[in-house]
Amino acid sequence: MGSYNYYKMFGCFNRKFKISESEPPPDVKGAFRRYAEGAVHMKADQLLKFLVEYQGEHGCTIADAEAIIQHVCHHRHHNTKRHGLTLEDFFHFLFQDDLNGPINSQVHHDMTAPLQHYFIYTGHNSYLTGNQLSSDCSETPIIKSLENGVRGIELDLWPNSGKDNVHVLHGRTLTTPVPLIKCLKSIKEHAFVKSPYPVIVTLEDHLTPELQAKVAGMVTQVFGDMLYCPESGCMEEFPSPEALKHKIILSTKPPKEYLGTNNNKDGEMSSSMEKDSSDEDISVLEPDDKSDSDQEEEDSDINQQKSGNLASPEYKRLIAIHAGNAKKGLRHALRSTVDRAKRLSLSEQELEKAASLYTKDVVRFSQKNILRVFPKGTRVTSSNFRPITGWMHGAQMVAFNMQGYGKSLWMMHGMFRSNGGCGYVKKPDLLMKRGPNNEVFDPKLPIPVRQTLKVTVYMGDGWRLDFSHTHFDSFSPPDFYTKIYIIGVTGDAAKRKTRIIGDDWTPYWDEEFTFPLRVPELALLRIEVREHDISDKDDFGGQTCLPVSELRSGIRSVPLYDKKGHKFKSVRLLMQFQFE
């Protein structure tokens, strides 16, 4: 073996274990000197002054500062009683995301506005474990979603093979069914583990009236007093999340009450059997175009026609949020002024078309009603679309495949880290306001810069603890860099990246980036660390997505997550956020 190869295999091999001791960045040292007033220890009153003045935490008290000191000293000095922080203690505190995280971890939005004033964390085909065509249906992904704070669960209801019970499955596919009763019991047991705010169960119903009556019995028996049923049968305005705490709400298209099944002289369905657009397709297709959802709607109508003239009154009574239809066209549905609040569903392509042709109508509609957007049918791998278009037009329920890991789902995770992760995020006022001439927010119009965000990426740490020493490179420490993205309205979109720091498990960048923002209320900050590889695709080193409107100013510890959105135990960045 040549000396070069020997050195590469054995000499360089030891380099991968080399860990350089990280020093506090100059900004951290400067803040410590300033607030400790040149002393070796920063006392509680000095730390409080730092928290209020530098970090902008105006609600902090001397007791909070003392608690931080005790926590840090207990962790670092093994119960030794201390009354102040050294520079190293102070640095340690700033790098702990549980003590000094980038966003507020508590519910802090006004929760007393009507339901349509909130973005709602919503799942699509919530029972699927994998792809849309052949994966198993199970209660497990429903449980997982609820435990992660999802507040909108979707179930597709179909008759079983004996036509005497109800299964949940993705119709006309090879997905294996799960009994409805299992799903209902799982929802009841896990609905409020993560959040006390209401769970909306949207049903896509392909049942006969007899089976609808059976569903009504199951729902009443399983949910009991947890089920919200409006006294009037339909609501003029939705209640607030606060008023609906610990309630489960059903939403679907109310069954039609058929008055007759006579065909007209041309053999067409009578007026009582006119086809509505289904919950899954408020169609903007050409007249001769028929989607799968149109076909499902016809099947549902035919099932009910064969079963008799009356829908199930018990089932209808339990539907709190009525799903509307657009049989007179999407524009008419968006502009119609009815007394009761309703919900409409659009596919991602339909939303794009509606947003292009009827931008202001979509925004106005979502000020009074609930708009749901779901992935197009060709996303058979359970991938997702970019959610920002839905949000900037006021769509409350942007429904995602929660098993569809990728950048779009990271954005969804980021949005719903807002407001303490409770699953409800108050829509910005600009989406709810109307001007004197009934004008509303139009995301297509040019908007002046209203705020500037400065982001400093100081350094990172934790990979040496969460990854094997050969994960990134067999012979040397990793070469990390950080990418920063702004996701928002068109004028706010931006992308930056730091330089590559070679051969270091604790990379130190200390680079500042400036982002002018037109609509900061709808902007997300996406952060991704990658490891540079000369000969192959750069390796993934962690990611997070944070709502700009929730960012806490000052020097903050930013925890990173894996590709599936699970938080790493140790990997984090030290960053600073400043608003001007």
Q: Which positions are annotated as active-site residues?
A: 124, 170
Q: How many residues does the chain have?
A: 580
> How buried is 435 (Cβ within 10 angstroms: 0-12 exposed, 13-18 middle, 19+ buried)?
exposed
β partners of residue 511: 457
- C-alpha pair distances (Å), 359 with each of 105, 243, 315, 433: 34, 31, 35, 15
- DSSP annotation of 138 reads -
β partners of residue 136: 176
How far apart are alpha carbons 249 and 489 in whole angstroms? 32
List, in order, residues 6 or more apart from 111 with CB less than 8 Å away: 197, 240, 241, 242, 424, 426
- C-alpha pair distances (Å), 336 with each of 204, 323, 342: 24, 14, 11
How far apart are alpha carbons 525 and 545 in whole angstroms? 6
- C-alpha pair distances (Å), 78 with each of 73, 100, 233, 250: 7, 21, 62, 53
Decide if 250 contacts 234 (C-beta within 8 A): no
- DSSP string covering 406-435: SHHHHHHHHHTTGGGG-SEEEPPHHHH---
Closest by CA to 252, choosing from 310, 207, 196, is 207
How far apart are alpha carbons 262 and 265 in whole angstroms? 9
Cα dihedral sign for 112, 114, 119, 121?
positive
Closest by CA to 150, choosing from 198, 219, 110, 205, is 198
Closest by CA to 574, choosing from 561, 556, 559, 560, is 556
Residue ranges in 160-225 assigned as alpha helix (H): 180-190, 209-223
Count of C-beta atoms within a 10 Å radius of residue 215: 25
Residue with tokens 């009037």: 232
Q: Write the single-letter amino acid at 114.
A: P
